[in-house]
Structure 1
Amino acid sequence: MGSSRFVALAASTLVVVGALVGAPAATADTGQPGTLYVQGVDWCSDTGPGTQDMPFCSVQAAADVVMPGQTVDIVGAPFQGGKVTLTRSGTPSAPITFQGVSTDPVNTSANLVLPPNLDGTITLSGVHDVHVSYLLLDHTSTDAVDVKGSQDVVLDRLHIADQASSGAAAVTDGVSVDGASSGVTVSRNQIFDSSGNAVQVASGAHDVTVTTNELVTSRYAEVAVSGTATAEVTGNTLDDSCGPGLTIDGGSSATVENNVFTGFGGSVVCPAPTAPALSVAADSAASVTADYNALAVNSGRTEYSWGGAAYTAVAAFTAATGQGAHDLDHVGYAYPDATDENSPVIDSADADAPGELATDVHGAPRVDDPLVADTGTGARTTYDRGAFERQDTFPPPSGPTSASGIGPLSVSVTPGSPRPGTWGLPETYTVDFGDGSPAVTDASGTVTHTYTVPGVYAEKVTVTDANGSSASRTAKVTVGTATPPATSAAVSAEIGQGTVDAGSAVLTFDHSDNWELASRTVSWGDGSNNNVPVTRGAAGHDYDYDVPFRTYTVTLTQTDIFGRTATATTTFRPADSYTPLTPPEYDYQGTVKAHGLLTLDSSTLHTDTNGVDAAALRVTATGGSSGGYLTLYPYGTTRPSVSAVNFAAHQTTENGMTVRTDSSGNMYLYNGSAASVSVKIVTAGIFSHAQFGRSYTPVAPVRVLDTRNGTGGVTGPVGAGKSITVAVAGTHGVPAGAAAVVLDVQTTSAQASGSLGVTSHGMADSAVTTSYWAKGQTVSNLTVVPLVDGKVVLHNSSSGSVQMVTDVFGYADATGTGSVYLSSTPTRILDTRDGTGTGGRVARLGAHQTLKLRVGGVHGIPSSGTTAADLVLTAVSPTAGGYLTAWADGTTRPGTASLDYGTGRTTPNEILPPVGSDGYVDLYNGGSTAVNVLADQYGAYVAQ
C-alpha cells in the first residue's frame, strides 16, 4: 500500500466495519455532567464554561482545566488547532479522557464516519491515567503524539498522517514514547506515511503495549522498540515499511504475536530497502518471544533478522531459534489480510496473546468465519491475525429515511426482509431511534416511534448475523420545538485587552437551540444596515456606528429550519472612551482680547484622530486686569451661558473640564472679561467613539491623604519645592491594576503663593500643574492621573510650605468594563440665583444644607444607568469661606470636599460625582453661611 491510500481517506471519510461510531443526538442542553466540550462553532469561547451550549474553541483550553474523571468531547474540528499539551492527570478510578466526536454521524449510503481533525499534534507531559481517542492528527515537523514522562496512558483509534512532502528533512514519528514513560497502550490506531517510525519506544520505558494498529508506509520502522522492558506487540498489520516492520534492540524484553507483516519492499524510495520484516538484535533475542505472526516480503528482503542471523523463511527461522512455530509466510509482495476471504490469517491467531483485544482496528467484534477452518489457539480459536477481523458481508439494510417536523414527531421504519450475507448465517434486524428509547430487535415489519424531545437524532437500522457481524444504515431525524427557538439579545460596547471601543456595539444573543436555526440577521437601527446576515459569530456580532450619542434600536431576527421566525430588540447608545495623552500636550498659549472669541482647531487640541468627540482640557487664565470668565464650547454652535474658569483681576486661575468638539474636533474659547487675558491650554486626554480607550468607574469619594492629621502616611505641611508620594491603587476601592485615577487635590494653609504639580510615579514626563494659590488661600482641583505602579507624586512649587488633602473619586478601568462617556453641549443645570435646577426656588444654598440636583433623564443624559456626572461646580462670591460636597443621592455623605471656596472669590471646580440610582446628585454646603451655587453639565458616564 502506498501513501495515496491515506490521503484519500483523510480527505473524505474513514470506512468503519461494524456499528456506526458518531456523535450523540444534538439537544438543547448543557451536556452531560463531568463532560467538557470543544467545538469549532461561532459561539465557542476559551474563557467560557466549556458546556455543550458554550463550548471551548480549542482543545488546549479544555486541557488547562480538565479534572480527574472528566471527559473532553472534541466535537468536529476545533477553531484553534496546533500543538496541544496535556499536563493534568486523572486517577486509576477516574481517568481523564479526550475523545473525538463526529459531527456527521449520519450517512445513508454506507457506514462512513469522519473523525474530528485536530489539525495539530499532542504532547502528554508528566501525566498519568489519561486516555486519548478518535482524532485525526496531521503532522509535518514534529511527532504527532509525544508521550513524555507519563504513566498509564491509552492512545486509541487515532488516525495519524505525516503531511510533510516526500523526502522532507524532518524525521518525525507517529507516536513517540520516551524512556521515562510506562504503562502506555497504543491501540487500534491507523498511522500513515511517517517520515520516521510509526511507533517509537525509547530506552528506559517499560510495560508498553502496541496492539491492533494499522501501520503503513513508514520511512524507517513501523514499530521501533529499544531498551524497553515488557513490550507487547500484538495483532498489528505492518504494511509497506521502508525499514523493518518491527525492530527490537537495546536489551528489550517483548512478546511479538499475531502480527501481519505485508508489502515489504514496495515502490517507495527507502533508506533501508533490504531491511528484514522482523528484526531482533542479539542483545534482546533471549528476552523476546515471537509466534503466530504472518510475513510476506518482496525479493531482496529477508523475513527475519534474529540475534544477527538472517532467515528468509519461517521453517528455517523456527528450526534455528525455536521461535515462530505457528508463523506463516507467503510468497509474493503482499500478504492477504483478514479483509480477504479464505486468507490464512483468518481464525488462526492466539486469542490469549498479551495485549490482544476483543475488537479489531475499526471496533468490529471477533467473529468466526464459517468458511475457514479454525486453527487458532487460546480461549477462542476464531481470532484473526493482524489489525482486521474478517466480517460477514451483506447488503446494508433498507431504511430508514430522513425526517423532520415539529415534535411530537412520529416516524415509521420498514427494515425489509433479511438478505443473506456471504456466510449464509441467520440474521436479525434492530431499529435504534437514537433518543435513548429501547431498540426494537427482530424487526421484520414496520416499526413506528414517536419522538417527544426536540433534537437531532441518528435513527439506525442494523442487520446482524449469528456470529455478530453487522452492517447499518442511518438517517437523520430532526424534531423541532413546538414554538420557534427563543430569541434574546443584549448589547454592550466592544472590549479588547483592557480597553473599550464605546462606539462599537457587540450584540450577544442566546445560542441555545442553535441546531434548530437556519439563519440569523441583525438590523442595527441606523436606517442603512438592516437584515445583515450574522456570519461572523453565532454568539456575538459587532457594528461600528458613525454618529454617537443617539439611541439605536437593534433587532435580531432568527429563522429556524421550519421557516418560523422570532425577534428580539435591544437598544444601544454609542458613546466615548477615554485615552490619556502622556505626556500631556501643551496646545495653546496666548492672549485673548476682551470679549474675544478664539477658535481652537483639532490640530491644536490634538483631537484630529479617529472619532474624537470631546477633549479633557486643563485651562489656565492669568494676567487679566479685570475679572471675568472663560467659556469653552463646540465650534459652530451658540455660546452657552456657562463658565469653565472664573478669575479675578491679576489672578492666575486653573480648572479642568471635558469639552465637546464639533465633528472635526474643533471648539471655541470665549473671554467673558472686559480686559484681555492670557490663556494656556493643555490637552490631557481625548474621548472617541471610534477608538479603543479606557472606561471609568466611580467610587464613593474617599480621602487618601491629609497632611494635617497624617492620613496617607504624611504628617505636617509639605515643604517648599518638596514632593510626596501617595499610594492610590490597591486600596479604597481602586484596583491594583487601575490605568488611571481621578483625584481632587486640595492645598490649604499656604505660606506663600505657588502651584501644585501632579505626576504619575514612574512617569516623570506626565506632570501637570493642576492649581495655583495665593498665600493663605485654599484651592482644590480635580485631575485624572495615569498610573504606572499605583502611586502619584504631588509637588509643591512654592517658596513656602502647604498642607495637602487628596480625595479619590474614581478610576479608569483596566478591564474595559467600566462606564463610558456621553459628552453634551455645556448646559447650566443649576443656578440658585434664578431657580434653575431647584424647581424655581430662588435662594442661596444654606449653611449645612443639602440640595438634590437631577442629572439623569434631563439634557440628553439617560434616565437610568448614569453612574457619574461631569460637572463644573461654582461657588459665587461667598461671604465666608467653606466647601461643597457632591455625592450620589441615596448614599451616605462622604467626608470629602468637591469644591473649596474662599471669601468673596467666585470659585469653579470640575467634579465627577457618582449619581444615585434615581438620577440625582446631592450637594451639601459645608460653609458657615449660605452661598449661591452653579452647576454646568459637560457630560456624564453611563454603564455599558
Structure 2
Amino acid sequence: MRILRGLVVGALVLAATPLASVSAAYAAAPGSSPLQTADMLDAKGTYYSLFPRRVLDTRTGTGAPKAVVKPGATVRLQVGGAGGVPTTGVAAVAVNLTVVGPTSAGYLTVFPTGAARPNASSINFAKGETRANSVIVALGTDGKIDIFNAVGSTHILIDVAGYYADATPLPDGAAVGGQLHPVTPQRLIDTRTSWHSMLPAGAAARVLIDYGPEITPHIRGVVVNVTAVTPTADGYLQAWSGDWGEQPTHSTLNFRKGSVVPNQAIVGTVPCLVLICGEPVRQQIMVWTSADTHVLVDIVAIIDDGTLPDGLRFEPRTPTRIVDTRTGTGLTKALGPNTAATVSVPNASIPAQTRAIAVNAAAVAPTADTFVTLWPWSPDETGRPDVSSLNAARGTTVANAAITPIGPGTGSPSNAFNVYNATGNTHVLVDLVGTFYPGTAAPAATGAAYTLIPHPAVLQQR
C-alpha cells in the first residue's frame, strides 16, 4: 500500500446554485462512473459513487412508516434497489445517518438485517439535537439494514452516497468500481485563515484536488472530514461533486448556532471545467451552506478509477468495539490533554492482509472542548497530522466515522494506529466496521513517477 504524501492543492471560489454540469466528455450517468471494464478486474470490494439520494425519512414516510421511532424500536430499511443501489452485487453501502428532534440523549446502531445487534453505536446525540454521521454497513437479508434506537424517540433520515461491490460476477462490459488510496491527512480549506470570513449562507465553495498528472485524472472520489465552525444560525452543509446539473436534497452535516460539528463524507468528484478553473484539469467537490459559517475540509483518502497501483478494497465487518477507555478495552484509561496513545487492533478482528480500517470513533464526556485525531502508527514515528477526526464540546458524546491506515502487521506494535486528544480529559470509543485490503489494480504506467505538483493559480493552500 502506498500512502500519498506531499502537497494537495485546495482552492475556494464562491458559486451560485444550481450549478452547471460538466461537459459530456467527463459526465457520468447518475449511479455510475466511467471506470475500467469487467475483463480487466473483478469488482469485489470496489466502490461505486452515487448521486446522494434520501432512502429513509420517518418524517415523511419515505422508506418506513411516517412516525417517530420509539425507544428500543428497530427500523428495517430496504436499501438494495433504492436510491440507485443495485438489487444484487452489493456488499455494503455508504450512507449519511441523521437524527432529528430526539427526546433524550441516546444513540443509534445500524447493522445488517438478519445479524445479531452488535455492542456498538453508529451515531450519538444529545436531546433535541439534529446530528449526522457517515456509516458504512453491510447489507443483510434481502438487501436490508436495521436501525436500532436505544432510548427516547426520534426521527431518522438516511441518504445513500455509494456502495461497495460483492463477489457477484459482473456482466460483460460492466464498470468496475474504484479503489481506496490513503493520503497524508491534510487540510484543504480553513475559511478562518484563508478568507478570514465565513462561507455565506446560500453559497458553495468549490474545492479543487490535484495530485499531479499521473494521479489526478484517475480520481473519482475523495474521503474528507467536513467541519462547520461557529455558524451564525442553525443550519446544514451539503458536500457533492457539483455534477449532474442539480444540487442534492441531502445534508452532509447539521449544526446549531455557535457549534463545531464534523462529519466524514465519501464524495464523488468530477473534473472542474477549464473555463472555470483553468489548466491543468483538476478534480472538484462542492460544499454548500444554509447559514453563514466557517468551513474546514480535511482530506484523508482518494478513490481511483480502478487503474492506479496499490489500491485498497473494502470488506465490511460486523461492528466490533476495539477501544473503550471506560472499560480498559484497547486503551487502559481516558486520554489526558495533549496526549496520544497507540492502539493495536487484535489480530482476531482483522484479516492478515488488512492495510487500513474503517471505524466509528467517539469522544465521551470530555472535560473541555476538544478534538480527537486518528492516524497510522509508523516505525519512523511520523508526526501527527494537523487535522481533526472529530470535535466534541465539553460534557458531550460525539461520534464520527474515520478511515485510517494501520501500522505493520508484524513486530511491536502490530496493526496499530494512534489516537490523540487535544484538551481536557476524555474517554474514547472506537468501533471497527470494516477493513481495506490490497486490490489487483493494473501495474503503474511507464513514464514519469508520481509527483504532487501545485498549480500556480491556487487561491489558498495549507
Same fold, TM-score > 0.5, yes or no: yes
Q: Is 1:898 the equivalent of 2:394?
A: no
Deviations 1:26-82 (A, max 9, x none): xxxxxxxxxxxxxxxxxxxxxxxxxxxxxxxxxxxxxxxxxxxxxxxxxxxxxxxxx
Q: Is 1:722 the equivalent of 2:203?
A: yes
Deviations 1:640-693 (A, max 9, x none): 1111111111110100110012253212110011x2210011111111123521
Deviations 1:834-872 (A, max 9, x none): 01112xx2x11121111212237331x2234x3321111
Distance 1:500 1:729, change over 3 A: farther
- Structure 2 runs not aligned, ≥5 long: 1-32, 59-67, 171-175, 272-282, 410-414, 440-462
The more displaced of 804-813 and 762-771 is 762-771
1:321-720 → structure 2 map (5 Å cutoff) = 498-499=35-36, 575-581=44-50, 583-590=51-58, 591-601=68-78, 602-604=80-82, 607-662=85-140, 664-673=142-151, 675-689=152-166, 690=168, 691=170, 692-710=176-194, 714-720=195-201
The whole-number CA distance in structure 2 between the counterparts of 1:753 and 1:735 is 36
Which structure has the bigger radius of gyration?
A: 1
Letter in 2 for 1:881: D
Cα offset for 1:738?
A: 0.5
Given the alignment, which residue of 251, 261, 271 partners 1:769?
251
The whole-number CA distance in structure 2 between the counterparts of 1:780 and 1:805 is 9
Letter in 1 for 2:57: Q
SS in 1 for 2:115: coil
Cα offset for 1:938?
A: 0.8
> Which residue pairs with 2:288 in the alignment?
795
Q: Is 1:780 the equivalent of 2:231?
A: no
Deviations 1:387-413 (A, max 9, x none): xxxxxxxxxxxxxxxxxxxxxxxxxxx
> Which residue pairs with 1:27 in the alignment?
none
Letter in 1 for 2:290: S
Given the alignment, which residue of 855, 865, 869 partners 2:345?
855
Cα offset for 1:610?
A: 2.4
SS in 2 for 1:709: helix
> Which residue pairs with 1:71 in the alignment?
none
1:829-848 → structure 2 map (5 Å cutoff) = 829-838=322-331, 841=332, 843-848=333-338
The whole-number CA distance in structure 2 between the counterparts of 1:734 and 1:888 is 22
> Which residue pairs with 2:424 in the alignment?
929
The whole-number CA distance in structure 2 between the counterparts of 1:892 and 1:578 is 30
Of all paired residues, the percent bearing the same amino acid is 29
Cα offset for 1:827?
A: 0.9
Task: Report if aligned partners of 1:758, 1:785 keep a CA contact under 8 Å in 2.
Answer: yes
**TM-score, length-normalised on structure 2?**
0.75
The whole-number CA distance in structure 1 between the counterparts of 2:135 and 2:348 is 20
Deviations 1:341-388 (A, max 9, x none): xxxxxxxxxxxxxxxxxxxxxxxxxxxxxxxxxxxxxxxxxxxxxxxx
The whole-number CA distance in structure 2 between the counterparts of 1:814 and 1:607 is 19
Cα offset for 1:895?
A: 0.7
Distance 1:856 1:766, change over 3 A: farther
> Which residue pairs with 2:234 in the alignment?
753
Distance 1:734 1:914, change over 3 A: farther
Distance 1:715 1:731, change over 3 A: farther
Cα offset for 1:733?
A: 10
Q: CA RMSD, aligned part only?
A: 2.4
Task: Report if aligned partners of 2:186, 2:385 keep a CA contact under 8 Å in 1.
Answer: yes
> Which residue pairs with 1:876 in the alignment?
364
Cα offset for 1:603?
A: 3.9
Cα offset for 1:620?
A: 0.6
Task: Report if aligned partners of 2:81, 2:87 keep a CA contact under 8 Å in 1.
Answer: no
Cα offset for 1:628?
A: 0.9
Task: Report if aligned partners of 2:177, 2:305 keep a CA contact under 8 Å in 1.
Answer: no
1:44-83 → structure 2 map (5 Å cutoff) = none
Cα offset for 1:720?
A: 2.2
Cα offset for 1:585?
A: 2.2
**Higher RCO structure, 1 or 2 (CA under 8 Å, sep 6+):** 2
Q: Is 1:913 the equivalent of 2:397?
A: no
**TM-score, length-normalised on structure 1?**
0.37
Cα offset for 1:606?
A: 5.5
Deviations 1:704-730 (A, max 9, x none): 1111111xxx44211222222111234
Cα offset for 1:578?
A: 1.0
SS in 2 for 1:858: helix
Count, aligned residues: 368
Distance 1:599 1:877, change over 3 A: same
The whole-number CA distance in structure 2 between the counterparts of 1:917 and 1:769 is 37
Q: Is 1:943 the equivalent of 2:438?
A: yes
Letter in 1 for 2:389: S
Task: Report if aligned partners of 1:607, 1:665 keep a CA contact under 8 Å in 2.
Answer: no
SS in 2 for 1:911: strand
The whole-number CA distance in structure 2 between the counterparts of 1:635 and 1:652 is 25
Task: Report if aligned partners of 1:856, 1:863 keep a CA contact under 8 Å in 2.
Answer: no
